[in-house]
Amino acid sequence: MTSHFSTRNATIPNDIDHTQWAQWQGRSSLRVFPSPAGRAASRIPAATALVDEAWSEVLALSPDADTAGMRAQFVCHWQFAELAQPGKVSWNLEPWRPVVDDNEMVASGCNPGGPEESF
């Protein structure tokens, strides 16, 4: 079950602990730090509603991340990061990465168009 916290008299999920914009090799990168509850939720197969909920949290924290390419990277990380690299500190999304189809996204390890940030 996803944990929740209250803010402004509204209850929202707590799948994302925080986000942080950074520069990597001279390019912008949004580091998304999933909460323990978010990591657990991401392991649930075919949890489309959960990924949408978590993406809404990312956008609440970093509204400028609202692009198709960054959402696709997030969905890929949500589905595969805890399987490929359990406990990875952050899921890194970059606005400069190209929008690609699902097969290419997965083949690129959720990082199309260039190497992954090592953080």
Per-residue H/E/C for 34-65: ECHHHHHHHCCCCCHHHHHHHHHHHHHHCHHH
pTM for this entry: 0.85
Residue 53 has pLDDT above 60, yes or no: yes
Which of 73, 104, 96, 90 is closest to 25 using CA atoms?
96
Cβ-contact 96, 28 below 8 angstroms: yes
Per mean pLDDT, which range of 11-15, 34-38, 48-52, 104-108 is the poorest?
11-15
Residue 13 confidence (pLDDT): 65
pLDDT > 70 in the chain, percent: 85
- In-domain check, residue 2: no
Residue 73 has pLDDT above 80, yes or no: yes
The H-assigned helical ranges of the chain are 36-42, 48-61, 68-84, 102-107
- In-domain check, residue 1: no
- In-domain check, residue 33: yes
Residue 67 has pLDDT above 80, yes or no: yes
Expressed as residue numbers, the domain containing 96 is 15-107
- Chain position carrying tokens 């990380």: 77
Per mean pLDDT, which range of 61-65, 80-84, 92-96, 115-119 is the poorest?
115-119
- In-domain check, residue 117: no
Per mean pLDDT, which range of 3-12, 37-46, 93-102 is the poorest?
3-12
Task: Name the domain count of the chain.
Answer: 1
**Torsion of Cα atoms, 11 then 14 then 16 then 19, to 10°:** 50
- In-domain check, residue 56: yes
Q: How sure is the predictor about 8, in pLDDT bands with cuts at 50, 70 and 90?
A: very low
